[in-house]
Amino acid sequence: MIDFAAARRMMVDGQVRTADVTDPRILAAMSELPRQHFVPSGKAELSYLDLDLPVAGGEGARSRRLLKPMVLAKLVQLAEIGESDHVLDVGCATGYSSALLARLAGSVVALEEDRELARRAEESLAGIPNVKVAVGPLVIGWPLAEPYDVIVMQGATEVVPDALLRQLKDGGRLAGILGEGPQRKAMIYRKVDGDVSGRPVFDAAAPLLPGFSRKPAFVF
């Protein structure tokens, strides 16, 4: 039988700390949060490996995955989440990322468009009072609870997520992964006096979130 507590320590020490994640709140939260509770029972033994873990849709291009622990931790650190922040978690899948964010922020909206994943997220997040699961298209965000201090995208986008950026408060941040194919970059966007600017921070591979692919160019 797998010692999940030991696997969790190895994940944090071997994948997260070594990737320059130094925020003690993130390290503590990932050391305590049982990731195996957020994955299909048949994949529990994969919970702490260095991979984007499939949680729905099989193994193909349309599958939904939890981000690698290292990538998730670096994105969350990049967002500089404060304890009173209101956060939108885009593409929460089964809720692991939202549970992590709830340990750092004041309130979290866990947005998911796949109804079965949203149901599983609600079950997994039951008892965490500062998280609410919302069901709707990821690409339009969740305007009903805007504005947000922080938005975190649990996957890649091929286009600048303008609808999400409009839901940020002044001073708000969006952390996500932008680009096509393997040449993707983790980005941090900030809204200051109504204007948004973004900058690349590190290379990152991640599965594409539904609705965020670039539209094919028209060819004569």
Max CA pair span of the chain:
60
Class of residue 17 by CB neighbours under 10 A (exposed 0-12, middle 13-18, buried 19+): middle
So where are the chain's domains? Answer: 4-203
The CATH fold assigned to 4-203 is: Rossmann fold (3.40.50)
pLDDT confidence of residue 218? 55
pLDDT at residue 181 tops 80: no
> 144 — alpha (psi -120 to 50), left (phi > 0) or beta?
alpha
Q: How far apart are the first and last CA of the chain?
A: 60
Assessment of whether the complete model's pTM goes beyond 0.85: yes
> Which one, of 32, 28, 7, 5, lies nearest residue 17 by Cα?
28
Comparing 52-61, 64-73, 124-133, 196-205, which segment has the lowest mean pLDDT? 52-61
Instruction: Look up residue 36 and give its two tokens.
Output: 């195996």
Region 180-201: mean pLDDT is 93
Distance between CA atoms of residues 128 and 109, nearest Å = 12
Query: Average pLDDT over the chain, rounded to whole?
Result: 94
122-131: average pLDDT: 97
DSSP code of 208? B
What pLDDT is attached to residue 214?
84
Could you read off the pLDDT of 75-97 as tens digits, one per residue? 999 999 999 999 999 999 999 99
Mean pLDDT of 197-212: 95
- State pLDDT tens for residues 32-65: 999 999 999 889 999 999 999 999 875 544 679 9
Residue 168, pLDDT > 70, answer yes
Please check the confidence at residue 153 and state whether its pLDDT lies above 70. Answer: yes
Cα angle at 13 between 82 and 96, to 5 degrees?
50
Q: 1-5, 56-60, 69-73, 174-178: which has the minimum mean pLDDT?
A: 56-60
8 A C-beta contact, residue 21 and residue 73:
yes
In the β-sheet with 86-90, what is the strand arrangement from edge to edge? 131-135, 107-112, 86-90, 148-157, 168-178, 185-192, 195-203
